[in-house]
Structure 1
Amino acid sequence: MSQYSLLHAAKKNCGDFLIRDAALALIRHHTNVSDDEVLTVDVVGRNLDQETIDSVAETDVAFLAGGPGYQPEFYPGVYPALDDLLDVVDVVPMGPGWRGIDEETYSFTDESVRVLERIVGQDRVPFLGARDLPTVRILRNYGLPAELTGCPAWYYYDGYPPEAEFSPSQSIDHIIVSTPPQNSNRYLLQYFQLLRTLNELFPGATIVCSFHRGKFKESLEPYVGYPWERATYVRNTASLIYGLINSYARRNGFELYDASGSSEYVQRYYNADLHVGHRVHGHIPALAGGTPSFLIQIDGRGFGVSESLGTSGDVSGRSSIRGPVQEVKSSIEYNIRNNYPDFETVDQNRLQAYEKMTELLQSAL
């Protein structure tokens, strides 16, 4: 019988698999259990059958992995089975985050607040784990105790507590460029501009286009919770946009990498000389491995990780198509010239957040 449950969102996006596997590694480290003693259950956008709920009920505690779970429709939109699970087991959030644009106007539904209050009413949950500082502030605005634990993915590379030091390469020969959201024409044009700029800035470097949700139509699932028509639109738009990226990359000599479906992709980010792009869970493993990484932020997930880790060289991608690319180019050049001052606090910030993650886990066990 499993001793613990891990509630996760891993379906296709490699970032969700990284969060799941990193959370599993944290549980193993703090409990000394084997993988066989942890029941893993995909809960995002899913109602669970009674057999699954009964299996979770037999475990001591259910850990809720990260991801942008603290959405306005936290319950029942993101986690439709959560109220039922709270009837049978303690649920401990391991650092979910918000997903929005404006922190000041961000709000939860009444049902979401009710379920969040149920979670913090459990004896084993001294506070809600949050993956970034905006999430902490949002939760506290509702009178909910919250602390910055970071995302489990912050700690997947270098042991517990994290020990890696930021260690940029002496030369930039291998660059990973994570792709933008697959249903946005605007970010497609920005991505092309980014590839051209990096190719000019680092002539001769290997440039890899990394697809976190897959490269082709058949490997892109509709979004959970979308109406069928909307899901089909997103799928078809993604197929068109990613097809254009595939063609553009091949014409210009860039490599293609399908990172979807597992957490194995992280090793490539650890070993790269530079990561630039739109994916938060490309930014995180690069930094954890000591690789310089410049995130082009598209929403609160990006704003939050940049503020929380202290990577002040990141830029917002929302202002225009070309402007953010020129900003990130200037940021890269500045950091190379000055020995990467924008990354000086990353290791310290990860370590401080890890202390809160440890406190949360130990309270639950």
Structure 2
Amino acid sequence: MASFRIALMSNIKNNYVVLTGDKNNSGDYLIKKAGLYLLNKYRPDRVLTPIPAWEPLNKERLRLVNESCALILLGGPALQPQMYPCIYPLTRNLNDIKAPIITMGIGAKPKSTYPEAPHHYPLTDQTHELLTRINRESYQSSLRDYYSGLIMQAYGYNNFITTGCPAFYLNEDQSQTENSSPNSIVFSVGVNFAKETDMLHQTKDIIYQMITELDQPVRVAFHHSTTPKFLNTHRPNVRLYDQQHKLIEWLKEHKIEYIDISGSAEQMLSLYSSCSLHIGYRVHAHILTSSLGKPSLLLAEDGRAINMKDVMGGMILNAYEEEGKGLIPKVLKASGLSHRAKPELWREIQANLAYEKKAKNQRTLQVANNLRMHFYFMKSFLDQLP
């Protein structure tokens, strides 16, 4: 609310209204923190007004938007079939928005870890209406990854540039990791285990193997809330909430330490800054740990994670077996059910960790180089904003 009041009292034409998606998942809070940090640092001539992306623009907010320099749609997997009006309700008539609409680090959300061709990625007519509006602005918009860029290109939207996720750049100097053995590990819990039994088995197996074979202190991190207040948020995932509690009971039974870091970028920063290695399913755990110059092994449970490989590099393993050919797998693919969890993923994890240690964190250093290169494009994007 403080930043909102400052914006109202200032010269409004120096204002950016920033739509953010932080309501539960700690990764969304990290995106918000990083995005506002970058805008504050590289556009100090602008006052920032963050507001929830999932709330429609009421009369007061629409006035604020129309008296600002730009409406910025910040980060997250917002490029979905029903991006407008489900992700961004905005206004019923987009012509009511007079300020330029610009995206910053948004990306697609393919369900499968074997994503469909970009030109087959579905978008509704209303989403095309929003993207057409964004594409015709006088300013470039920014995307998280190249797959998202190829989707835009396939549909004729050419006013977008791949900058990476804003969370890449919280640690701008990308300080390099020391070549030493990890002495603490964080395992990040995914979301697919809540609806797929084989993914639950995979999750438990990896945690158990880490505890018994790596002989290192392990903490299991929940990025989505495990507290009842989560059920009062916008469109809560009740099934995930229930299944997380069942997993917690299993962790307690095996005396495995766990931590809930939802609803906060600070808790996330504290946890991953203090560990030496991350293994797990959360994309922003991988982004944060890697940006801190520490080794991270991401287990891809959807297309977002797979698409990070082209942008970041590093250790990213597909958590699913390759899907079959033919009509039935094609039909199932639309539901994200066309393949099953790898039953022996732990062997791949072991092999990659051993190789990374032998190679003196070669792929971890590769990530640092890739982030430095992509920052050039993020900085260019920030400089050209109105």
TM-score, normalising length: structure 1: 0.88
Q: 1:154 aligns with which of 168, 181, 202?
A: 168
Distance 1:349 1:85 in 2: 39
Distance 2:302 2:265 in 1: 23
| Structure 2 counterpart of 1:228 | none
Equivalences for residues 50-69 of structure 1 within 5 A: 50-69=59-78
Q: Secondary structure at the match of 2:106?
A: coil
Distance 1:271 1:60 in 2: 39
Q: Does residue 279 in structure 1 map to residue 282 in structure 2?
A: yes
Q: Does residue 129 in structure 1 map to residue 132 in structure 2?
A: no
Distance 2:121 2:58 in 1: 32
Report the Cα offset of residue 364 of structure 1.
1.1
Distance 1:210 1:33 in 2: 38
Deviates more, 1:82-91 or 1:253-262: 82-91
Q: Give the paired residue count.
A: 345
Q: Which amino acid is the alignment partner of residue 306 of structure 2?
A: F
Preserved contact between residue 92 and residue 119 of structure 1 (Cα < 8 Å): yes
Report the Cα offset of residue 345 of structure 1.
2.1
User: Which string of whole-angstrom CA distances, capped at 9 and with x for unpartnered residues, describes residues 148-195 of structure 1?
Assistant: 110000001x2xxx2123314512221111111063343222111111
Preserved contact between residue 18 and residue 71 of structure 2 (Cα < 8 Å): yes
Root mean square deviation, CA, Å = 2.0
Preserved contact between residue 187 and residue 219 of structure 2 (Cα < 8 Å): yes
Preserved contact between residue 277 and residue 294 of structure 1 (Cα < 8 Å): yes
| Structure 2 counterpart of 1:330 | 351
Q: Does residue 200 in structure 1 map to residue 212 in structure 2?
A: yes
Preserved contact between residue 107 and residue 145 of structure 2 (Cα < 8 Å): yes
Q: Secondary structure at the match of 1:295?
A: strand
Q: Residue 214 and residue 95 in structure 1: after superposition, are their counterparts in 2 closer, same or farther (change >3 A)?
A: same
Report the Cα offset of residue 307 of structure 1.
2.3
| Structure 2 counterpart of 1:189 | 201
Distance 2:365 2:383 in 1: 29
Q: Which amino acid is the alignment partner of residue 210 of structure 1?
A: A
Give identity over the alignment, percent.
24
Q: Secondary structure at the match of 2:186?
A: strand
Distance 2:379 2:162 in 1: 11
Q: Which amino acid is the alignment partner of residue 259 of structure 1?
A: I
Preserved contact between residue 164 and residue 290 of structure 1 (Cα < 8 Å): yes
Distance 1:107 1:58 in 2: 34
| Structure 2 counterpart of 1:227 | none
| Structure 1 counterpart of 2:85 | 76
Report the Cα offset of residue 281 of structure 1.
0.9
| Structure 1 counterpart of 2:57 | 48
Unaligned runs of 5+ in 2: 1-5, 8-14, 322-340
Distance 1:87 1:132 in 2: 27
Q: Residue 176 and residue 115 in structure 1: after superposition, are their counterparts in 2 closer, same or farther (change >3 A)?
A: same
Q: Does residue 97 in structure 1 map to residue 112 in structure 2?
A: no
Q: 2:298 aligns with which of 292, 295, 298?
A: 295
Q: Does residue 179 in structure 1 map to residue 189 in structure 2?
A: yes
| Structure 1 counterpart of 2:324 | none
Distance 2:384 2:305 in 1: 29
Preserved contact between residue 78 and residue 106 of structure 2 (Cα < 8 Å): yes
User: Which string of whole-angstrom CA distances, capped at 9 and with x for unpartnered residues, describes residues 186-221 of structure 1?
Assistant: 322211111112113321x22111111112444355
Report the Cα offset of residue 351 of structure 1.
1.6
Q: Residue 217 and residue 184 in structure 1: after superposition, are their counterparts in 2 closer, same or farther (change >3 A)?
A: farther
| Structure 2 counterpart of 1:307 | 310
Distance 1:333 1:85 in 2: 56
Distance 2:366 2:66 in 1: 41
Distance 2:152 2:353 in 1: 34
Q: 1:18 aligns with which of 19, 30, 33?
A: 30
Q: Residue 86 and residue 63 in structure 1: after superposition, are their counterparts in 2 closer, same or farther (change >3 A)?
A: farther
Q: Secondary structure at the match of 1:81?
A: coil
Q: Secondary structure at the match of 2:79?
A: coil
| Structure 2 counterpart of 1:270 | 273
Moved over 3 A (4+): 82-86, 220-224
Q: Residue 216 and residue 325 in structure 1: after superposition, are their counterparts in 2 closer, same or farther (change >3 A)?
A: farther
